[in-house]
Amino acid sequence: MTTDRTVTEPIDGGETATIVSDIAIVGGGLAGSLAAAVLARAGHRVALVDKRAVYPDEFRVEKIGGHQLELLRKLDFLSALDGVACRYDRVLNIREGKVVDVSVGQAYGFPYADLVAMARSQIPDPSSLIVDEVTAISNSDDVQHLELASGRRVTARLVVLATGMAGVLGYKLGIRRRVLAERHSVSFGFTIARKDRSPFDFEALTCYGERTADGIDYLSLFPVRAGMRANLFMFRDPTDPIMRELRREPEATVLRLLPGLQSYLGDFRVTDRVQNWVMDLTVVEGHLQPGVVLIGDAFQTNCPAAGTGVARLLMDVDRLCTEYVPRWLMTAGMGREKISQFYSDRDKIAADQQSLKMARFRQALTSRNDIGWDVRRRLHFLRRSLAHRVDQMHPGWLGRVRGALRA
């Protein structure tokens, strides 16, 4: 049962202590840390276990906006986000050097580690974070046990697996990852500045790829506290020599692939390490188990170009932590029938499916060169640029049409 105590209870002293909680969350990335904060704020006893005290400088999502912000607001994280991220409101969208349109709406740029730190800072009792590695899980219809690398143990009624793309623990439970698309996309992240240190003439900018053979979906430039961040998303063989060129000579290679960018960037240089990531699209199987529930990337990975990873994980956190867990803890047991309610949630399923749909759409729009997709691509950009021109002549027109369509 839930109590109003927010702290976990060590019931044995020393290194072999057993920590007792209502919910044990394995993995304190964005999904696990947000889930811990939401549940602990509601008065549940939460133990969040992550092998690292501070999330490292790893390349993951670095900007959010739109629907993601609505969910963060609903979960009451928006003011904390404001404190760690750089806000921007206008994105200039270009292709082949010409303006396609301008996106207007609140958005934020940040290093992922800062986003995770923000989420962890919202956990009311900092001692809920246990820095350790979970090495084994044993699950049942009522009590779950975690073994930690230090020799300690955690006992809980429910285990939330939020271990991201690391699959070892799930594997031990018989949970498998099904690969839907191997090496689906390649992403690059780096920071740029003008050589003369003057600011860029745009708040944020997206430059779409020009030729299908390049496999470039888009380069997104947006402000973070350290400067102008660049995220380049591609659908191309990760062993292609262009990947090495992007790492070794990012400035020249970016301009060779996207010549229309030159006049917007002027003389610029990359000011930090070029990070890159090759992403497989995967979903789990064998996950319906008593006492254990998977969220975020632990359940399904996403295409970074589609920008759906955070929307998915926020939906997981919202539905699991505000709807199901509070209800499950009110009655005895944590069997499969309870867990299956979360996996059958209509909104969760819709978010997961939308993520896969967008992943396939972005890949096809970027690199398919058959006639059907060629026409679709032309129409996609033509429609956007026509709508933009009409909106320039009749300001507010586009917003009114979108509002009417949503109503």
Query: Least distance (Å) from ligand FAD to the CB of residue 303?
Result: 8
CA distance 163 to 169: 8
- Name which of 29 and 391 has its Cβ closer to ligand FAD: 29
Which residue is nearest to ligand FAD, using beta carbons? 29
- Name which of 26 and 100 has its Cβ closer to ligand FAD: 26
- Name which of 181 and 398 has its Cβ closer to ligand FAD: 181
The three state secondary structure string of the chain is: CCCCCCCCEECCCCCCCEEEEEEEEECCCHHHHHHHHHHHHCCCCEEEEECCCCCCCCCCCCEEECHHHHHHHHCCCHHHHHHHCEEEEEEEEEECCEEEEEEEEEEEECCHHHHHHHHHHCCCCHHHEEECCEEEEECCCCCEEEEECCCCEEEEEEEEECCCCCCHHHHHCCCEEEEEEEEEEEEEEEEEEECCCCCCCCCEEEEECCCHHHCEEEEEEEEECCEEEEEEEECCCCCCHHHHHHHHCHHHHHHHHCHHHHHHHCCEEECCCCEEEEEEEEEEECCCECCEEECHHHCECCCHHHCCHHHHHHHHHHHHHHHHHHHHCCCCCCCHHHHHHHHCCHHHHHHHHHHHHHHHHHHHHHHCCCHHHHHHHHHHHHHHHHHHHHHHHCCCHHHHHHHHHHC
- Name which of 291 and 309 has its Cβ closer to ligand FAD: 309
Query: Least distance (Å) from ligand FAD to the CB of residue 92?
Result: 18
CA distance 319 to 108: 24
Query: Least distance (Å) from ligand FAD to the CB of residue 384?
Result: 20
CA distance 259 to 373: 23
- Name which of 231 and 367 has its Cβ closer to ligand FAD: 231
The helix-helix angle for 346-367 and 371-393 (nearest 10°) equals: 100
- 133, with CB counted inside 10 A (0-12, 13-18, 19+), is middle
- For ligand FAD, the binding residues (CB under 6 A) are 26-32, 49-52, 55, 59-61, 63, 133-134, 162-164, 166, 169, 187, 277, 279, 296-298, 302, 304, 307-310, 313
Query: Least distance (Å) from ligand FAD to the CB of residue 372?
Result: 28
Query: Least distance (Å) from ligand FAD to the CB of residue 404?
Result: 28
- Name which of 6 and 231 has its Cβ closer to ligand FAD: 231
Query: Least distance (Å) from ligand FAD to the CB of residue 120?
Result: 10
- Name which of 23 and 49 has its Cβ closer to ligand FAD: 49
- Name which of 19 and 134 has its Cβ closer to ligand FAD: 134
- Name which of 162 and 351 has its Cβ closer to ligand FAD: 162
- Name which of 130 and 391 has its Cβ closer to ligand FAD: 130
Query: Least distance (Å) from ligand FAD to the CB of residue 394?
Result: 32
CA distance 289 to 334: 10
Query: Least distance (Å) from ligand FAD to the CB of residue 405?
Result: 24
- Name which of 20 and 64 has its Cβ closer to ligand FAD: 64
CA distance 109 to 69: 12
CA distance 85 to 109: 6
